[in-house]
Structure 1
């Protein structure tokens, strides 16, 4: 039985909305991880009061009227979600993060903010570091962006949009938006806060101006973090149950149910949660992971251990995640003996004998998930920098060790 910490995606959306709501809110069972603490720190720097001392975090909005410096770390949600909020400040707010974050895309959000009257200083880079020079209010209105690199571009503008004078009307123009379930999550959370959102047209999301109601919220378990634990069942033929799996959710990790079924696992709901029992032989798959790209490292690791060939596609956008995940998976799985072909938008993986060696994580928590999955089935695999899992799962290493050993 596995009990997972809360969802980072839900927690950081809840924190942003609580910081600009019409009263205090409580974020219950908040995930305490690097990404969520960076978000809490950023919102506190702006002027909100975020009390993270307990299991339940209390957030009180405050006046955004002081200069601030925001550390984004490696958190894409902080880098993208906080600038549209910082635009409501009457002061100057600067943003920077870990070195790799300076290569992650943010330019479309900055261009959109400029188009609705926000002053942005980035020396034309469209990347970290940059500064938002707030005027105390934002006009809002219609923006046209290319969100094909990240669904977070859309979510970032929607989250703050109700506080803009004209609301926000976001229109996407470009290749398909990846990770649409994450936008669905944003829309659902906004509506729970009483915000009017029109998503009736494809590639258009409109948020009406108005108050954001304070809401006390319980954070669901992070379903994407279930992947390595459910993979144990898939590889061993044993059974793993993840407690408190929600019956309905907008989390992309819920797709693990159908993906593991396609690979031959028995997937059932029980009174306790989601139960997965592995097959005698793990089947290869042909999957379009465009909407659930964050699951790619764990699924690729399983594919490298399957009995048949696999093809994972539709995931060109994950080259811009914490690392170029397509290239990193090809390199690390290939170094351990897997037969991997890298494509512009995915990977082809054929069965091949694997051997021990170092699996590098590139400071990417999802790459660490892939490494421990391989290590569970192949002797002599050493996962480098397992501590990077602290981004979304505190004490992952200890939790994983106890689970594998049955302690």
Structure 2
């Protein structure tokens, strides 16, 4: 067993209606003025106003910023930082999925230490604590509320860069399953399979530890039996609760174990072809699992038993059975099965592979991977 470090330096509130605890959390942190980061879509659905009212009816001040977009850019981070500094707020509430939380984390970095967000690209370049962040996820998928990374698109390089530091972890995560029970089926499916892949890749990572394994296994135990049911009926409270908590456990796991080739290769797909992150992961999943089979040390069977529809453990398991099972799962969720279906073309594979190789996730993939391997995997998934 290799050496490892693990800590959970956050407070996590879970429960139906737990949003009502927000004012108490803010007062506990002596924050009378909060900067609320979200997007226009959630504002139109009334989610932003609902949370703003909860905060303001308790006598606190709330400045709303709705500039978040999918695959947020360096310009969005700069704009959010400027608005935060002008507002006079002393804390941030991030409402949404990974995009809102990535903007909140990176805004917190620049508001505290200034500079350009590209100065902090890579591992552990944030020098210390940042603005307190309270994360309120509206999807069960990204795990960003408990992860130490932020992914921001640098349009100057056409590259999705990662800023990774445990100093960026939100101080609080408020997990209210009410927030995910009105999601469209397509979003529930894409986010849900992303959460499952977070747990799977963390579990297979060469950087895994007994602590991350415990989180990953519990995530798969919660998500595996509930993902199909949640996509079928988002009003199913038990399934919604399981997905919300499972996504958070998966986020804790990959915050420390990192991920693998799937995530390393999916980020360029979003940067070059604007493929939805969860969809890109779902398409790559069977291809990468097949590639990694020769490095399996018995974990494929455990994953298979977590996600298959039958409650009985498999007899005479072979790793190919897991590949077949994830294909069935993707089909049940209505996921595309090839990259060509989502508009990806072969002419960008070299550039995409070069970008994928810069990801720290490549280094912990269970099977060693070269740039030629990445190009071949893209071609196979095409």
TM-score range, shorter chain: under 0.3
Q: What TM-score do the two structures reach when normalised by structure 1?
A: 0.26
More strand by share: 1
